[in-house]
C-alpha cells in the first residue's frame, strides 16, 4: 500500500531529514539544554537524546517529520534551511509538547518504544516539561524577526490552540450515528492537520509567496494530516508495535472512536450491529480486543479507512502540485508525504 506515489525506479533518497539533522537538531538540543536542569532532563529524555539514567541515547528520537517538511518546502520556494531553522525547531518542540501531555491524558505508558516521560519522571514534572516545550517553541517564533514573522508566529499560536481543542474533542467523542463522523473529522483537522498546515505554510510566508501558493501548501498539509491520522488509526488496530513503538489496540482498549471503528459502527451490517453491542462491554482482555478488531474489519472499517487515507494522501499531493515548487522539492515532498503516512521511512 506504500508504493503508489514512489517513482518506478524505487524509493527516492530523501535529503530533508539529513538537512534537519545538521541544521535544526543542534538548535533544538541547545535550546532544550538551556532549560531549567530538571525540565531539560525530562525534555531531552522525551526527545530521545538521553536514556532514563541521563546517558546519551541514539535510539527512540522522533523522525522530525514537521521540520523535514518545512525544510523541503523552504528549498522549494528558494530559501535556505537556515531561513526557517527557528520555525522548524519550534514546530518540533510544539509537537513534542503536545505528545508529552497527550501521553499523560491518555495514560499511554509507551512512546517510541520507551516508557513515556510521565512514567519515568512522574506526572508533575511531565506536565511542567510539556509546558516548557510549548512556551519555548512559541518564544522562538515570537522572537524571530525575519520576513513574515508576525504571520508565522500567529499561525503557530493558532495551530497550537487547535491541537488542544482537538485533543479535548477526542476525549469527548461518543458514538452517535448522526454526528460522530463529522466530529471525528473536525477533531483530526485540529489535532493532526493544524501543525502540518503550519509547517508547510511557514516557508511560503517567509518567502513572501502569493496567497494561492500559501493556500495550496496549507491545503496539502490539511489532507496530509487526515491521511496520517487515519493511517495511525489503522496501525493502532492492525499495526506492528515494533514499528509504532506503542502497545497495540490502545485506542479500542480505551474505546476511543477512531475512523475504522466509526466507519464499521455506521455500517448497516450484522458485523456492524454485533460491534455496536460488544463495544459497550467493559472488557479489555486481548481476546475481546481481537474480537472487536475482527468485527471492525468484517464490517469494512479497515478497508474504508485505508481507502480514505490513500484518497487524502493523493489530495495532499495534488494540492502540493498547485504550489509551484521546484521539481526537486516537489519530488522530495511527495516521497516524504508517502513515508509519513505509510511509515516506510
Q: Which residues of this protein are in contact with a copy of itself, per CB under 8 A?
A: 35-36, 38-39, 98, 101, 104-106, 123-125, 127-132, 134-136, 138-139, 142-143, 145, 150, 153-154, 157-158, 160-161, 164-169, 171-172, 190
Judged on CB neighbours under 10 Å (0-12, 13-18, 19+), 279 is middle
Q: Report in angstroms how near the CB of residue 137 gets to a copy of itself at its nearest.
A: 9
Closer to a copy of itself by Cβ: residue 165 or 215:
165
Closer to a copy of itself by Cβ: residue 160 or 228:
160
Closer to a copy of itself by Cβ: residue 149 or 288:
149
Q: Report in angstroms how near the CB of residue 171 gets to a copy of itself at its nearest.
A: 6
| SS3 letters across the chain | CCCCCCCCCCCCCCCHHHHHHHHCHHHHHHHHHCCCHHHHHHHHHHCCCECCCCCECCCCCCCCHHHHHHHHHHHHCCCCHHHHHHHHHHHHHHHHHHHHHHHHHCCCCEECCEECHHHHHCHHHHHHHHHHHHHHHHHHHHHCCCCCHHHHHHHHHHHHHHHHHHHHHHHHCCCCCCCHHHHHHHHHHHHHHHHHHHHHHHHHHHCCCCHHHHHHHHHHHHHHHHHHHHHHHHHHHHCCHHHHCCCCCHHHHCCCCCHHHHHHHCCCCHHHHHHHHHHHCCCCCHHHHHHHHHHHHHCCHHHHHHHHHHHHHHHHHHHHHCCCCCHHHHHHHHHHHHHHHHCCC
Q: Report in angstroms how near the CB of residue 297 gets to a copy of itself at its nearest.
A: 29
Q: Report in angstroms how near the CB of residue 34 gets to a copy of itself at its nearest.
A: 10
Closer to a copy of itself by Cβ: residue 15 or 165:
165
Q: Report in angstroms how near the CB of residue 102 gets to a copy of itself at its nearest.
A: 9
Closer to a copy of itself by Cβ: residue 14 or 142:
142
Q: Report in angstroms how near the CB of residue 238 gets to a copy of itself at its nearest.
A: 26
Closer to a copy of itself by Cβ: residue 75 or 102:
102
Q: Report in angstroms how near the CB of residue 60 gets to a copy of itself at its nearest.
A: 22
Closer to a copy of itself by Cβ: residue 40 or 336:
40
- The answer to whether 248 and 234 have CB atoms below 8 angstroms apart is no
Amino acid at each position: 500500500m506504500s508504493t503508489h506515489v514512489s517513482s518506478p525506479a524505487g524509493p527516492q533518497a530523501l535529503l530533508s531529514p539529513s538537512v534537519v539533522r545538521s541544521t535544526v537538531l543542534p538548535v533544538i538540543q541547545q535550546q532544550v539544554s538551556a532549560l531549567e536542569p530538571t525540565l531539560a532532563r525530562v525534555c531531552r529524555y522525551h526527545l530521545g537524546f538521553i536514556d532514563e539514567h541521563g546517558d546519551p541515547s541514539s535510539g527512540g528520537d522522533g523522525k522530525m517529520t514537521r521540520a523535514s517538511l518545512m525544510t523541503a518546502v523552504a528549498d522549494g520556494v528558494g530559501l535556505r534551511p537556515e531561513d526557517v531553522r527557528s520555525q522548524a525547531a519550534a514546530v518540533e518542540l510544539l509537537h513534542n509538547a503536545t505528545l508529552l501531555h497527550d501521553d499523560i491524558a491518555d495514560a499511554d505508558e509507551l512512546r517510541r518504544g520507551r516508557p513515556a516521560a510521565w512514567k519515568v519522571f512522574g506526572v508533575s514534572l511531565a506536565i511542567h516539561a510539556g509546558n516548557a516545550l510549548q512556551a519555548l517553541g512559541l518564544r522562538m517564533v515570537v522572537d524571530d524577526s525575519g520576513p513574515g514573522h508576525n504571520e508565522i508566529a500567529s499561525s503557530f499560536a493558532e495551530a497550537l490552540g487547535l491541537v488542544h481543542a482537538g485533543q479535548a474533542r477526542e476525549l469527548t467523542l461518543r458514538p452517535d450515528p448522526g454526528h460522530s463522523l463529522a466530529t471525528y473529522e473536525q477533531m483530526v483537522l485540529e489535532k493532526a492537520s493544524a501543525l502540518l498546515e503550519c509547517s508547510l505554510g511557514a516557508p511560503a510566508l517567509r518567502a513572501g509567496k502569493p496567497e494561492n501558493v500559501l493556500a495550496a501548501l496549507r491545503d496539502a498539509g490539511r489532507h496530509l494530516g487526515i491521511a496520517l491520522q487515519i493511517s495511525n488509526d489503522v496501525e493502532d488496530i492492525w499495526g506492528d508495535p515494533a514499528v509504532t513503538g506503542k502497545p497495540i489496540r490502545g485506542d479500542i482498549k480505551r474505546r476511543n472512536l477512531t475512523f475504522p471503528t466509526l466507519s464499521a459502527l455506521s455500517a448497516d451490517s450484522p458485523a456492524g450491529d454485533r460491534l455496536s453491542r460488544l463495544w459497550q462491554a467493559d472488557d479489555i482482555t486481548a481476546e475481546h480486543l481481537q474480537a472487536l478488531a475482527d468485527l471492525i474489519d468484517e464490517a469494512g472499517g479497515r478497508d474504508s479507512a485505508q481507502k480514505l487515507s490513500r484518497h487524502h494522501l493523493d489530495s495532499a499531493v495534488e494540492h502540493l502540485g498547485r504550489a509551484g515548487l521546484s521539481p526537486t522539492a516537489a519530488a522530495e515532498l511527495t516521497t516524504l508525504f508517502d513515508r509519513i503516512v505509510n511509515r516506510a521511512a
